[in-house]
Chains A and B, each alone.
Chain A
Amino acid sequence: MTTLTDPPKAGFRLSQLLYDTRYRSITIQVIAMILVILGLYWLVNNTIQNLSALGKDFDFGFLSQPAGYDINQRLVEYSSQSTHGQAAIVGILNTILVAFLGCILATILGVIAGVLRLSKNWIVNKLMAVYVEGFRNVPLLLWIIAIFALMTEGMPQPRDFKVGGDASMILGETVAVTNRGVYVPGVVFESGWFASAAMNWLAVIVVLVASLLVIRVVRRRADAIQEATGDRPTTWWQQLGLLIIPAGLVLVLMGATMQYPYIRGFNFTDGIHLRNSLIALWLALSLYTGAFIAEIVRAGILAISKGQSEAASALGLRPNRTMNLVILPQAMRVIIPPLISQYLNLTKNSSLAIAVGYMDVRSTLGGITINQTGRELEGMLLLGAFYLVLSLLISAVMNVYNNRTQLQER
Chain B
Amino acid sequence: MSETHAQSVSYVRETMLSEQEPPVTERGVIKWIRENLFSGWVNILLTVISLFVIYWALALVLPWAFGGVWNAGSLTECREVLFSFYKDSHDGACWAVIEDRWLQILFGFYPPELYWRPILAFVLFFVALAPVLFAERVPGQLIWFTVVYPFLATWLIWGGAVWTPILALLGFVAAFVAYKILSKVSGPIVANLGALVAALVWWGALMGPIDDSLNRMVGAGRLEDTVASLNQQAEDLPVQIAALEADAEAKASEIAAAVETKNALLVEMTEIRIEEFAIDQQIEPKEDAVQLLNGAEESIGQIEDILSEWGGVPEAASDSEADLADAEAAAASIDGLIADVNKFLGDALNDIESNTADPADVAALLAAGATQADASITEDIDALVAKSDLTDSLGDLIDLATGLTADASASDLAALRADIATASALVQSDVDTLDGIKDKIIAANASDLEAPQAALVANMAQLTQLRDEATTIAQDNFRISSQQTENRGFLTALNSLTERENSLPELRATTQELRDAVPSAYRNMIDVNQLPEDATSEDAAALNAYLGARNQELSVGASIRDTYAELGRVGLRPIDSRQIGGFMLALIIGIAGIVLSLPLGILLALGRQSHLFFVNKICVAFIEVIRGVPLIVWLFTASLLLNYFLPPGTNFDLMLRVIIMVTLFSAAYIAEVIRGGLAALPTGQYEGADSLGLSYWQSMQLIVLPQALKISIPGIVNTFIGLFKDTVLVVFIGLLDPIGLSNAIRADTDWNGIYWELFVFIGALFFIFCFGMGRYSLYLERKLQREHR
Contact = CB atoms under 8 A, between A and B. Distances in A.
Interface in A351-366: 351-352, 354-355, 362, 366
23 contacts: A18-B186, A18-B190, A19-B187, A50-B643, A53-B525, A53-B527, A119-B43, A120-B35, A120-B39, A121-B50, A136-B770, A137-B771, A138-B767, A142-B728, A142-B759, A142-B762, A142-B766, A153-B755, A348-B630, A352-B729, A377-B641, A383-B633, A387-B628
Given A28-B615, A134-B767, A366 B633 contact: yes
B732 interface: yes
Contacts of A43: 645
Interface in A53-92: 53-55
Nearest to B765: A138
B732 A123 contact: no
Contacts of A25: 611-612
A138 B770 contact: yes
Contacts of A355: 732
B712 interface: no
Contacts of B50: 121, 123-124, 127
Nearest to B645: A43
A127 B648 CA distance: 57
Contacts of B725: 137-140
Given A28-B612, A138-B770, A141-B739, A121 B633 contact: no
Nearest to A55: B529
User: Looking at chain A's contact residues, is the secondary structure mostly helix, strand, loop, or mixed?
Assistant: helix
Nearest to B33: A122
Interface string B344-359: 1000000000000000
Contact of B344 (A55, A138, A164): A164
B613 interface: yes
Nearest to B44: A121
A146 B632 CA distance: 19
Contacts of A121: 36-37, 43, 46-47, 50
Contacts of A18: 186-187, 189-190
B589 interface: no
Contact of A33 (B186, B614, B771): B614
B37 A164 contact: no
A149 interface: yes
Interface stretch (B155-163, B291-299, B322-330, B459-467): B291-299
B636 A366 contact: yes
> What are the 3 closest A-B residue pairs judged by CB atoms, nearest first?
A53-B527, A137-B770, A164-B295
B759 A145 contact: yes
B51 interface: yes
Contacts of A352: 632, 729
Interface in A88-133: 116, 119-124, 127, 133
Interface of B: 35-37, 39, 43, 46-47, 50-51, 53-54, 186-187, 189-190, 193, 291-292, 294-295, 298-299, 340, 344, 525-527, 529-530, 611-615, 618, 624-625, 627-633, 636-637, 640-641, 643-648, 721, 725-726, 728-729, 731-732, 739, 755-756, 759, 762-763, 766-767, 770-771, 774
Contacts of A119: 43, 46
A54 B529 contact: yes
A36 interface: yes
Contact of B298 (A28, A123, A163, A354): A163
Contacts of B186: 18
A391 interface: yes
A377 B611 CA distance: 35
A355 B632 CA distance: 11
Nearest to B640: A376
Nearest to B586: A139
A31 interface: yes
Given A149-B759, A392-B624, 5 more contacts: A46-B648, A50-B644, A137-B767, A140-B725, A348-B631
Interface residues of A, number: 63
A141 B47 contact: no
B629 A348 contact: yes
B613 A29 contact: yes
Given A24-B189, A51-B644, A138 B763 contact: yes
Contacts of A267: none
B159 to A, nearest CB: 29
Given A163-B298, A377-B641, A349 B526 contact: no
Nearest to A33: B614
A52 interface: yes
Given A46-B644, A164-B291, A387-B628, A136 B774 contact: yes
Contacts of A149: 755-756, 759
Given A31-B189, A146-B759, A123 B51 contact: yes
Given A139-B726, A145-B759, A354-B632, A116 B46 contact: yes
A124 B50 CA distance: 6
Contact of A49 (B193, B612, B648, B721): B648
Contacts of A388: 624-625, 628-629
A370 B641 CA distance: 12
A335 B740 CA distance: 37
Nearest to A387: B629
Centre residue among A19, A120, A141 by max chain B CB count within 10 A: A141
Centre residue among B298, B632, B728 by max chain A CB count within 10 A: B632
Centre residue among A47, A121, A127 by max chain B CB count within 10 A: A121
A351 B612 contact: no
A362 B628 contact: no
Given A53-B648, A120-B36, A380-B633, A28 B189 contact: yes
Given A123-B47, A137-B767, A163-B340, A53 B641 contact: no
A47 B646 CA distance: 7
A163 B759 CA distance: 35
Contact of B526 (A31, A47, A49): A49
A313 interface: no
B39 A380 contact: no
B729 A141 contact: yes
A138 B755 contact: no
Contacts of A233: none
A140 B636 CA distance: 18
Nearest to A36: B618
A145 B774 CA distance: 24
Contacts of B731: 141
Contacts of B643: 50
A141 B738 CA distance: 11
A384 B629 contact: yes
Interface string A26-47: 0111011100100000010011
A33 B614 CA distance: 7
Contacts of A351: 630, 632-633
Contacts of A27: 189
B294 A380 contact: no
Contacts of B526: 49, 53
A381 to B, nearest CB: 9
Given A142-B728, A164-B344, A53 B633 contact: no
B771 A377 contact: no
Contacts of A146: 755-756, 759, 763
Contacts of A19: 187
Nearest to B348: A164
A139 B755 contact: no
Interface in A289-310: none
A49 B643 CA distance: 11
A250 to B, nearest CB: 23
A125 B777 CA distance: 22
A29 B190 CA distance: 14
B46 A387 contact: no
Contacts of B614: 29, 32-33
Nearest to B49: A124
B645 A46 contact: yes
Contact of B612 (A29, A116, A133, A165): A29
A145 B743 CA distance: 11
Contacts of A133: 767, 771, 774
A362 B637 CA distance: 12
